[in-house]
A and B are shown apart, each in its own frame.
Chain A
Amino acid sequence: MTTAVEHHDVGPVRQGLPPPPGGLRRVLYPGFLRAAWMTPLFFGIGSAIVVLCRWWGGWHPIWFGEIIVLVGALIAAPIGFLAGIGAFDYWVRYSIGAPTEPEDHSGHGAYSWRDYFRVNTDHKVIGMQYLATTIFFFLAGGLLAMLVRAELAKPGMQFFDNQTYNGLFSVHASLMIFLFVIPAFAGLANFVVPLMLGAPDMAFPRLNALSYWLLPIAGIMMLSSFLVPGGAFASGWTGYAPLSVHQPLGTIFFNMGVQWAGASSIMTALNFLVTIITMRAPGMTFWRMPLLVWANFTTSLLVVIATPFIAGSQFFVMFDRVMHTHFFDVGGGGYPLGYQHIFWFYSHPAVYIMMLPGFGIASEVISVFSRKPIFGYRLMALSLMAILVLGFSVWAHHMFVSGMAPWLRVPMMITTLMIAVPTGIKVFSWLATIWEGKINFATPMLWAVGFVSMFVIGGLSGIYLGAVPIDIHVSDTYFVVAHIHYVLFGGSLFTIFAGIYYWFPKMTGHQYNEKLGKLHFWLTFIGFNLTFFPMHLIGTQGMPRRVSDYAPQFGNWNLFISVASFFLGASTIVFLYNMVISMRRGAPAEANPWRALTLEWQVSSPPPVFNFDEIPQVVGNPYEYGVPGARHAVLNGDRAATETEEVRH
């Protein structure tokens, strides 16, 4: 770290990459042009391997579409794309003994919009790439939800046939989970965590770039499944076997999309873990880390431990389909419930992967905008760890009616209900933090307080679902749909918005439009409740989920919900408009518009390419609002002042 900083002092850093060479050599230069020929080349190589193997093994037909799509299009072509844009250049050069690019950090920073469209190793650029990409898939997933609600506005069939409808909600959920909530948090953390730690970048910048570029691949794969014969994958984002084994071709787009998104997620999580463990600035002990860093630390542990399980479950489904294994085929000695156990062993912790970073954002925002220290800082950090541990012991509460061993239900109910305790600690501590504070209801704070209130409702409906007898009645009904949206929309999405507004000045160097931000909050808050609260009611009354047609008695409520959901969808336009105009024409942002103590606000907005001219010295806790003379860190320039202060002590 120190050597890198000294290295900069020696010579001036080039402003961005050199311009690409002209003529034929340009085709070999990393970028989209090279990707444009390497992607089909790799597709060809993948297909050739399939054809050769089938010919050699004497399997007919030799030219078998499904396997060629899988190996050629879903495995080899993405690798070709990654190689083409240059994600592997450094490693390939190094491993074949060729001279590597001198590490002059010219890959860092973004000097024009083009720099966002290449393999960039700057964590701040990668953070922005993540956010732009995830917001794109958020819009795509949201539009799919609008189509779902259009179909459900009236009983009977309106616009789609059943299989298409099943595809709509399956892709909606998959995009929102794998391409929006999880990576949007990773994007925010990518930008913020190294700054908060006082580090110049993530521990592995090239790995960081690779993790990002896997995401668009996963997203395009899931979306493009609509275009293949048979339509998109249609067995829900849960993809229960054996149904998912016998679905049309689109299913393998989901199986493989999850692999790419999961690989991205695991690599980022490893990167965060190493960064947080090894790259904290001097004086930044674990107990001085901001809670956002704590939250990403626990989330990363969850990702690293749990994600291989969903990767496994999707591989097994795919193997049953293409290699005729019998993981989930009873006739061949398989065990269908095995899928659910493996799947939920990831997908329940995944709920916390989608929530803990939001807890971190809420803690930052609530403390800063209440001008008070976070209440019970250590218990807040410890409750994250408690959720991490308990989160691995509750997966079968998704399976109370699944036909698993009946004795498992009561122990899983107890662990499930126990999670209410650390979650309750967090909620009460946030409330105690705003208590007697000097609350400034700027947009980020509105989202954060909105989050707390909505998350309480989501948590309480979770208690209903945790209690086995009630769960037996409401499982797989709209009550569950209401619950997950209160948790993932009212929880995760609200905190993502809180984070985007909170760090917008830091990321872009411009202030967002406060009026539009507040308007966006209120429209979303009202639309959200009108859309999702009635779903509790129709669920307990007897409307199952994942159906395109329903009993006429639910007609009025469904029409109401559909209208409300269009209103909710339209509220996103205010957000997009605000982002676009503020990024271009917003007032220049100060370094620290919120008067926050954490390190990211102690540098300019946007931060310099290498974050800190000098590694900061951390001297205190991050939330000492109202404590006279308290400091979190000392940056260059202030050092003389502190030294005299220390002498005085």
Chain B
Amino acid sequence: MRRGSIVQLIVIGVLAGAIASAVALIPDWLPSSASREAGRIDFVFWFVTGICIFVFSIVTAVIVYAVWKFRVKPDDDSDGPPIHGHTGLEIVWTAIPALLVTAIAIVSAIVLAKDDAAGANPLRVNVYAQQFFWSYGYPGYRNKLSSVLRLPVNRSVVLTMHARDVIHSFWVPEFRQKQDLVPGIHATLHITPDKVGTYPVICTELCGFGHGLMRSRVVVMDSTAFEKWAEKKGTS
């Protein structure tokens, strides 16, 4: 390859990378973050995004360059050079993707392990799902029941899932955490809210005709307000 064409190739690659980076950075890809897990998950998201932009730029550079330069002339019936392969090149493009996915796997596994580990003295909440509404029980507070999930800020929370009919899925985009509720299985989900506010709870597993309407709210409050609310008798 001539030096000029390598420069052209790099320029196209940088341009493709710049466009992809703009697409990654200009819109708000992720909702605001309201839990410690969200921060870690966002890190994985941007880590993978960086690798993807790198791969995308290389592939795009090669395709654009080839489309631009290797177009056949209308009256040219000749064949291209009979290149059958290049073992070195094939080893490189087996090894580099293998390394990149290994890095992604390691980062993901570490984040997953951290997200799964509940802190000391977590608040336990039971999540109940049935067609088509949510309710929440607080075993530490005389099994207080609520239709809104209220959580104290900066305290580790363990949600235990209870499905009463079919499969549902508990998702709070701002927490980035999601867990299916399966009849007979009491999976747990760990969240540490770190921002006071109100966020949507969305059912993300098709559960029947009312699936799209199966919403609820989570209210993250400061711990004294939470205690005051939780000690109050009766359901709310």
Binding site for B on A (CB under 8 A): 161-163, 166, 234-236, 240, 242-243, 246, 330, 335-337, 370-373, 375-379, 401-403, 406, 409-410, 413-414, 417-418, 420-421, 424-425, 427-429, 431-432, 434-441, 449, 452-453, 456-457, 460, 463-464, 466-470, 472-473, 475-477, 537, 540-542, 544-551, 595, 624-627, 630
Contacts and interface: CB of A to CB of B under 8 A. Distances in A.
A242 B183 contact: yes
Given A456-B56, A541-B31, A440 B72 contact: yes
B81 A541 contact: no
Given A456-B59, A630-B82, 18 more contacts: A166-B209, A243-B208, A371-B72, A371-B78, A376-B90, A402-B182, A403-B180, A435-B66, A437-B70, A439-B70, A453-B60, A469-B41, A469-B176, A476-B169, A537-B29, A542-B202, A546-B206, A551-B200
B34 to A, nearest CB: 12
A377 B84 contact: yes
Interface stretch (B98-106, B135-143, B144-152, B219-227): B98-106
Contacts of A630: 82
Contacts of B209: 161-163, 166, 234
Nearest to A534: B27
A541 B82 contact: no
Nearest to A235: B206
B210 to A, nearest CB: 7
Contact of B82 (A421, A595, A626): A626
Contact of A425 (B71, B94, B109): B94
Nearest to A446: B67
| B: contact size bracket | 35 or more
Those 3 A-B pairs whose CB atoms lie nearest each other, nearest first: A547-B212, A626-B79, A542-B173
B63 A410 contact: no
B67 A438 contact: no
A463 B29 contact: no
Interface stretch (B111-119, B121-129, B228-236): B111-119
Contacts of A437: 66, 70, 80
Nearest to B110: A469
Given A436-B83, A542-B202, A544-B204, A470 B45 contact: yes
Which has the most chain B C-beta neighbours within 10 Å: A246, A470, A595?
A: A470
Nearest to A476: B204
A541 B173 contact: yes
Contacts of A166: 206, 209, 211
A335 B185 CA distance: 9
Interface string B22-42: 000001111100000000110
A470 B41 contact: yes
Contact of B205 (A240, A417, A466, A626): A240
B84 A373 contact: yes
Contacts of B181: 403
B97 A475 contact: no
B79 A464 contact: no
Contact of A337 (B31, B185, B210): B185
Contacts of B165: 242
A438 B94 contact: no
B173 A377 contact: no
